[in-house]
């Protein structure tokens, strides 16, 4: 995982909790400039620091990495799409999905249908 995605997730979680950068840095016992470097992806996060960060957010490291993986997939997908205008984004996504499905084998399409149908029941 990239330091940039890790930093973005930490910043997102911090902002959701309405915690200032200064306050959060104090809570995890680092300087505000260090937190700034982490959130901007210019500094690595040590394992022990990640433990403190997760503790402050009330999540496990496992949950943090699950969120990170979700964000990684989202950023990879969104960077492949052109989101200049919101209206065009929907059309662009539909177009890309259509391209992907058109390249699938019949068995892959059946599996996708089964997955989508089963997840819509929940």
Give yes or no for residue 92 having a pLDDT over 70: yes
- Please compute the mean of the pLDDT values over residues 71-87 and round it to a whole number: 53
Among residues 2, 15, 6, which one has the least CA distance to residue 67?
A: 6
- Please compute the mean of the pLDDT values over residues 64-80 and round it to a whole number: 68
Per-chain mean pLDDT for the chain: 83
Structure confidence at residue 78 (pLDDT): 52
Give the residue, 112 or 51, on which the prediction is more confident.
51
Among residues 6, 4, 1, which one has the least CA distance to residue 53?
A: 6
Give the residue, 40 or 122, on which the prediction is more confident.
40
Among residues 30, 23, 62, which one has the least CA distance to residue 44?
A: 30
Structure confidence at residue 74 (pLDDT): 54
Give yes or no for residue 23 having a pLDDT over 70: yes
Give yes or no for residue 66 having a pLDDT over 90: no
């Amino acid at each position: 995982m990239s330091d940039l995605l890790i930093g973005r997730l930490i910043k997102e979680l911090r902002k959701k909790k309405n915690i200032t950068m200064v306050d959060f840095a104090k809570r995890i016992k680092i300087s505000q400039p260090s937190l700034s470097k982490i959130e901007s992806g210019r500094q690595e996060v040590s394992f022990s620091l990640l433990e403190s960060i997760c503790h402050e957010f009330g999540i496990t490291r496992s949950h943090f990495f699950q969120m990170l993986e979700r964000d990684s997939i989202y950023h990879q997908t969104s960077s492949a799409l052109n989101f200049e205008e919101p209206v065009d984004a929907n059309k662009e996504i539909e177009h890309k999905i259509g391209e992907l499905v058109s390249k699938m084998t019949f068995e892959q399409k059946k599996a996708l249908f089964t997955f989508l149908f089963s997840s819509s029941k929940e």
